[in-house]
Amino acid sequence: MKKKSALAALTLGLAFLPTLTFAAAKNRPNVILFYADDMGYGEIQRFYPEQSKVPTPHLNQLCDEGMMFTDAHTSASICTPSRYALLTGRYNWRSRHQRGVASGGKPCIIDADRMTLPSLFKKQGYKTAMFGKWHLDFQYEVPEGAKTPKSQRDVWNYGQPVGTKIPDGPVSRGFDYFLGFHHSRSMSSLIENDEVTEYVKCVDTMGRLTDAVVSYIDEQATDSGDEPFFIYYPMNSPHAPVVPRQDWKDKGGIGDPYGDFVAQTDDAVGQVLAALEKNGLKDNTLVIFGTDNGCHKPADTFLDRGHAVSGPLRDKKTSIYDGGHRIPFIIRWPSMVKAKTKSDQLICMTDVFATFADYFSFDYGDDTAEDSISFLPVLDGSESEVVRKNIVHNDTGPTFAVRDGEWKLILQADSKVKQAKGLETKYQLYNMAEDIDESENLANENPERVKALIALLEKLVADGRSTPGEPQQNDAKVNLGNKGRK
């Protein structure tokens, strides 16, 4: 669902002003959005009980109390692109950042005049806070003569000294408060709002962030103001460095620190859920859990121990196959979502924006959330028809793929197939309803479908949007370079 409005013409300063009175906002639900880092589809036991050995009791509880989405996807199979898409409602490859991940020290990838998910909430009178990993670039203004102590210069700290200012970070893109870091290799430099304030050990990062989220909830529960809150918690785990605390050693069920780290991640979610319960906020808080892409471990790493990080899916993080971008996605919303429900609707993380805009009855312009489709009717049970018909995937290359209904076309040959022939030398076509592990390439048998899917992809790229509305310009040329390449 895309809504048109003259609001698109407002200046940046006006874009971040609330449009509701606090009295009107106070009955709106609080919202907490978890975004785990590199956590595969098979990591949560409810999603793949056949081979999921790491205990995840709190995430299981979230599944039991809400709705599980079994066909939800990030827009790409790596960190930076998937975060851009979530926060803007726009496919990442339309931006000027089209390859790999951000490393910090450059202007923010989200343009200053682009509306974001937190600024949408601010317009509804919400307080907005972020705790965790940004990974969308920002600049560093290092004080003259400032240096990082040698003891802090390691692989997980690129060396931005305390006192460094961040002029274009999260608090310039819609968040009232930020506590976190840029990306995993700089996670020892903890940033509060727009300044590096201290160094922390990697093993303490998750606990520090979780404690901060819990404290924030406690504070909001005792605040006499009427504003609801939106919390975005993009976690540092279970991405490398895999650093479970000592008290989590051997609690992961698979005899490996990675399993321990996943179990600790589940516990962090549990602490936040407990804070809601303790403060009487559970019934009026919408909780969302997703991940930014698939697991960074190869899909078969722990199979001999009965644990499939990617569940039934092929491959892992960075891959164009579903193991790279199909994620476990859960929504608990007591006032709307029926407990113990599942949806097989095709969902993209870009859709979070339009879903909340739909709930708020908020109109936005043609140049906002160009690839966001509301799935609100799925949540309240009023719509059983298909909400999203197609989705574009890409990886680190980027290699592109397009999904339309049950069919998925990858614009690249299968490197594991040595004797490909015909269309199989250029493309892979899978029926995802019948072949979830993408093992049977049907390109040769369906030349017209291949042609139609290529045409669909080209149109989605050229239009600058995949939703109804005026065509838009992509920020840079989009190269479908793998099309037709052997």
pLDDT, tens digit (0-9, with 9 covering 90-100), for 208-243: 999 999 999 999 999 877 899 999 999 999 999 999
Please report, to the nearest 10 degrees, the dihedral formed by the alpha carbons of residues 249, 255, 257, 258 taken in order.
Answer: -130
Task: Give strand ranges (E) for 41-170.
Answer: 67-73, 127-133
Query: Torsion-angle region of residue 193: left (phi > 0), alpha (psi -120 to 50) or beta?
Result: left
Residue 363 domain-assigned (yes or no)? yes
Q: Is 0.75 topped by the overall pTM? A: yes
Same domain? 372 vs 409:
no
Dump pLDDT digits (tens) for 2-22.
443 333 333 333 333 344 443
Burial of residue 449 (CB within 10 Å: 0-12, 13-18, 19+) is middle
Distance between alpha carbon 248 and the CA centroid of its chain, in Å? Answer: 26
State how far the Cα of 162 lies from the Cα of 201, in Å rounded to an integer: 15
Same domain? 352 vs 409:
no
Residue 222 domain-assigned (yes or no)? yes
Same domain? 209 vs 297:
yes
DSSP letters for 221-273: HH--S---EEEEEEEEEESSS----GGGTT-SSSSSHHHHHHHHHHHHHHHHH
- Token representation of residue 92: 């990442």
Dump pLDDT digits (tens) for 103-146.
999 999 999 999 999 999 999 999 999 999 999 999 999 999 88
State how far the Cα of 97 lies from the Cα of 109, in Å rounded to an integer: 7
Residue 392 domain-assigned (yes or no)? no
Structure confidence at residue 27 as a pLDDT band (50, 70, 90)? confident
Residue 305 domain-assigned (yes or no)? yes
247 CB neighbour count, 10 Å cutoff: 9
Closest among 435, 414, 416, 418 to 426, alpha carbons compared: 414
Dump pLDDT digits (tens) for 134-170.
999 999 999 998 888 777 777 777 768 999 999 999 9
Same domain? 338 vs 211:
yes
What is the percent of the chain with per-residue pLDDT over 90, rounded to a whole number? 86
Domain count for the chain: 2
Q: Identify the CATH number of the domain in which residue 408 sits.
A: 3.30.1120.10
Helix (H) or strand (E) holding 204: helix 202-222
Same domain? 336 vs 267:
yes
Same domain? 377 vs 403:
no
Dump pLDDT digits (tens) for 330-368.
999 999 999 999 999 999 999 999 999 999 999 999 999
Structure confidence at residue 26 as a pLDDT band (50, 70, 90)? low
State how far the Cα of 73 lies from the Cα of 70, in Å rounded to an integer: 9
DSSP letters for 182-195: SSGGGTTEEEETTE
Residue 139 domain-assigned (yes or no)? yes
Please report, to the nearest 10 degrees, the dihedral formed by the alpha carbons of residues 37, 42, 47, 48 taken in order.
Answer: -170
Residue 57, pLDDT > 70, answer: yes
- pLDDT the model gives residue 25: 57
Residue 454 domain-assigned (yes or no)? yes
Helix (H) or strand (E) holding 409: strand 407-410
Counting DSSP H helices and E strands in the chain, the numbers are 11, 15
Task: Return the amino acid letter for 483.
Answer: K
- Token representation of residue 32: 């907490």
State how far the Cα of 118 lies from the Cα of 114, in Å rounded to an integer: 11
Closest among 463, 303, 339, 443 to 390, alpha carbons compared: 463
- pLDDT the model gives residue 276: 98
State how far the Cα of 461 lies from the Cα of 454, in Å rounded to an integer: 11
Same domain? 337 vs 417:
no
Q: Identify the CATH number of the domain in which residue 83 sits.
A: 3.40.720.10
State how far the Cα of 339 lies from the Cα of 335, in Å rounded to an integer: 10
57, 313 contact by CB (below 8 A): no
- pLDDT the model gives residue 73: 98
Helix (H) or strand (E) holding 461: helix 447-462
Same domain? 244 vs 154:
yes
Closest among 224, 216, 226 to 124, alpha carbons compared: 226
Residue 482, pLDDT > 60, answer: no
Is 83 strand, coil or helix? helix
- pLDDT the model gives residue 386: 83
Residue 484 domain-assigned (yes or no)? no
The helix, strand and coil proportions of the chain, stated in percent and rounded to the nearest 5, come to: 30, 20, 55
State how far the Cα of 277 lies from the Cα of 334, in Å rounded to an integer: 13
Q: Which residues contact 358 (CB under 8 A, 6 or more apart)?
A: 1, 3, 374, 376
State how far the Cα of 274 lies from the Cα of 280, in Å rounded to an integer: 10
- Token representation of residue 228: 């609801």
Residue 199, pLDDT > 60, answer: yes
DSSP code at position 483:
T
State how far the Cα of 481 lies from the Cα of 411, in Å rounded to an integer: 9
What is the chain's length? 486
Same domain? 435 vs 325:
no
Q: Which residue has the tokens 């726009």?
A: 90
State how far the Cα of 408 lies from the Cα of 397, in Å rounded to an integer: 18
CA atoms in the 13 A half-sphere facing the CB of 318? 9
Question: How large is the greatest C-alpha to C-alpha distance in the chain, in angstroms?
Answer: 69
Same domain? 370 vs 431:
no
Domain of 309? 6-387
Q: Which residues contact 60 (CB under 8 A, 6 or more apart)?
A: 44, 45, 46
Q: Domain ends where: 363, 387, 411?
A: 387
Same domain? 383 vs 403:
no
Distance between alpha carbon 456 and the CA centroid of its chain, in Å? Answer: 25
Same domain? 357 vs 431:
no
Distance between alpha carbon 406 and the CA centroid of its chain, in Å? Answer: 23
Residue 53 domain-assigned (yes or no)? yes
Mean pLDDT for the stretch of residues 69-80: 97
**Which has the minimum average pLDDT: 282-291, 374-383, 434-443?**
374-383
